[in-house]
Amino acid sequence: MRALCWNGVNDLSVETVPDAGIVNPRDVVLRVGLTTTCGSDLHFIDGYLPGMAPGDVFGHEFMGEVVEVGSQVSRVRVGDRVVVPSFIACGACWYCERELYSLCDTTNPHAAMQQPLIGYPSGGIYGYTQPFGGYAGSHAEYVRVPFGDVNCFDVPEGVSDLQALFTSDAAPTGFMGADFCDISPGDTVAVFGAGAVGLMAAASARLLGAGRVVVVDRLPERLELARTRVGAETVDYSEVDSVQETLREMTGGRGPDSVIEAVGMEGHGTGVQQVLDRTKQALRLETDRATPLREAALAVRKGGVLSVLGVYGLTDSFPMGVVLNKGVTIRAAQQHGQRYVPRLLQHVAAGELDTGFLATHRMSLEDSVEGYRIFKEKEDGCLRAVFTPGPVPQVQ
């Protein structure tokens, strides 16, 4: 089958690789319908996070049609149109029972590689490094889905393939970030980052009752989407002296009740700290440029919630004193998609959540190397590049 492979830093190529197939009796094989880029992939393309092996199939956000089921699969059937969350859950371990699906204790066969780094290993994820399980990713014609009954969600009629695609990763991640904020009706929620994750976090904050949602970024086309598609207010951080001061003024001096950080380790910033971060990152003394994380901690009101969705590795100069003295609650996780996907599909079907607009670029899997270039450069307003194995349909 054809697949997009990671070969090294800034080196991707579409290759012919062995077909995906059933390995365990609870596996399902999907013919990939649509698969898309994610900001997380950039950390591996740019070489800020280690762990990909040359030849690994990339991609973790996808939907498609079931073409094969293992002998112990009981619910999912061949022909089902399904969406699959990016983290793989077993549905039965201590963590899955508590709906902490990305922490699944069963699905990471390379747990021993990860344990020394983070203490207790996470679950497995498609196309996202050897320490995260070494599973083949979704930028391919077919993908193996372990524990198919737990991880495949039927797409309801009335929800298009494109709308369903983003309930795999961007939407549940954003929704989880808003859920972490324990929003009371009328709360003000600020979202740092207007990528697909941040926009979905902003839309979710509205669904969960926020009175005001303020999205912070510097890319005009993304801020425009935050206003027109999500109904958020916006701040262009490159146009203000201090994001913190701006948010303080917008909230009558108190600050937002919660701040969702949806930028991650490749965040931009200005000033001395950014120069220091860039230098340290280049010298491999720290993996992260954590300006937005620090600003988010400063911006949130006393007693508020800092909800971290952006992916970080080693972060220097995190203002722990700010967190302590302001009594801030920090919540962070890789997405627990299985908990949110059914609800999100219902919101989409009911017209309460718009996801399809995230697909600014569509192309064949054969053109996915160029797709990643456009996505990485954020060229031509690219928010997400969506790949289709085979011909790209003209109308979705």
Ligand X SMILES: NC(=O)c1ccc[n+]([C@@H]2O[C@H](COP(=O)([O-])OP(=O)(O)OC[C@H]3O[C@@H](n4cnc5c(N)ncnc54)[C@H](O)[C@@H]3O)[C@@H](O)[C@H]2O)c1
Residues lying near ligand X in the complex (CB under 6 A) are found at 38-40, 42, 169, 173, 192-198, 216-219, 222, 237, 262-264, 267-269, 291-292, 309-311, 334-335
For the chain, the 3-state helix, strand and coil shares in percent, each to the nearest 5, are 35, 20, 45
The residue within the footprint of Zn ion, chosen from 5, 66, 96, 176 (CB under 5 A), is: 96
* CB-nearer residue toward ligand X: 142 or 375: 375
Q: Binding of Zn ion at residue 40 (CB under 5 A)?
A: yes
Minimum distance of Zn ion from residue 250's CB (angstroms): 30
Q: How many residues bind Zn ion (CB under 5 A)?
A: 8
- CA separation for the pair 194, 357 (Å, rounded): 13
**Binding of Zn ion at residue 83 (CB under 5 A)?**
no
Among candidates 195, 244, 236, 235, which has minimal Cα distance to 212? 235
Cα distances from 205 to residues 246, 263, 326, in angstroms, run 20, 17, 23
Look at the alpha carbons of 391, 141, 337, 180 in this order and tell me if their dihedral is positive or negative.
negative
Q: Taking the complex as a whole, how short is the minimal distance between the CB of residue 103 and Zn ion, in angstroms?
A: 8
Exposure string (b/e) for 278-304, b if CB count within 10 Å is 16 or more? Answer: eebbeeeebbbbbbbbbbbbbbbbeeb
Phi, psi for 344 (deg, rounded to 5): -65, -40
90, interface contact from Zn ion, ligand X, none, CB < 5-8 Å by kind: Zn ion
**Partner interacting with residue 368 (select from Zn ion, ligand X, none; CB below 5-8 Å by kind):** none
What backbone torsions phi and psi does residue 341 show, to the nearest 5 degrees?
A: -60, -45
Which CB sits closer to ligand X, 146 or 269? 269
201 binds Zn ion (CB under 5 A): no
**C-alpha to C-alpha distance for 1 and 128, rounded to whole angstroms:** 19
Q: CB pairs under 8 A, 24+ apart, for 124-128?
A: 124/87, 124/88, 125/60, 125/86, 125/87, 125/88, 125/334, 126/59, 126/60, 126/62, 126/86, 126/88, 127/56, 127/57, 127/58, 127/59, 127/60, 128/40, 128/44, 128/60, 128/86
**In the complex with Zn ion, which residue's Cβ is closer, 64 or 256?**
64
Tokens of 363: 């192309």
Work out what residue 193 binds among Zn ion, ligand X, none; the CB cut-off runs from 5 to 8 Å by kind.
ligand X
When CB distances are held under 5 to 8 angstroms depending on the partner's kind, the choice from ligand X, Zn ion, none that residue 93 binds is Zn ion
**Taking CB under 5 A as the criterion, which residues in 255-314 touch Zn ion?**
none
The stretch near Zn ion (CB under 5 A) out of 31-39, 276-284, 288-296, 375-383 is: 31-39
Query: If contact means CB under 5 to 8 A according to the sort of partner, which of ligand X, Zn ion, none does residue 310 touch?
Result: ligand X
Query: Which entry of Zn ion, ligand X, none binds 104, CB below 5 to 8 A by partner kind?
Result: Zn ion
Cβ proximity to Zn ion: between 23 and 285 the closer is 23
Q: Which residue has the tokens 């995906």?
A: 20
- Distance (Å, whole) CA 366 – CA 35: 12
Q: Quick one: which of 34, 45, 84, 90 contacts Zn ion (CB under 5 A)? A: 90
Residue nearest to ligand X (CB): 264
Q: Which of 38, 152, 155, 213 binds Zn ion (CB under 5 A)?
A: 38
Q: What number of residues does the chain have?
A: 396
Strands 233-236 and 212-217, how do they pair? parallel
Q: Is 169 in the site for Zn ion (CB under 5 A)?
A: yes
In whole angstroms, give the CA distance from residue 162 to residue 346. 15
CA distance 168 to 190: 24
CB of 5 to ligand X, least distance (A): 20
Toward ligand X, which CB reaches closer, 38 or 83? 38
Q: Which does 267 bind (CB under 5 to 8 A by kind): Zn ion, ligand X, none?
A: ligand X
Residue 248, contacted partner among Zn ion, ligand X, none, CB below 5-8 A by kind: none
Cα dihedral 360, 364, 367, 368 sign: positive
Provide the mask over 100-139, with x wherever binding to Zn ion is found by CB under 5 A and - wherever it is not: ----x-x---------------------------------
Q: What is the binding site for Zn ion (CB under 5 A)?
A: 38, 40, 90, 93, 96, 104, 106, 169
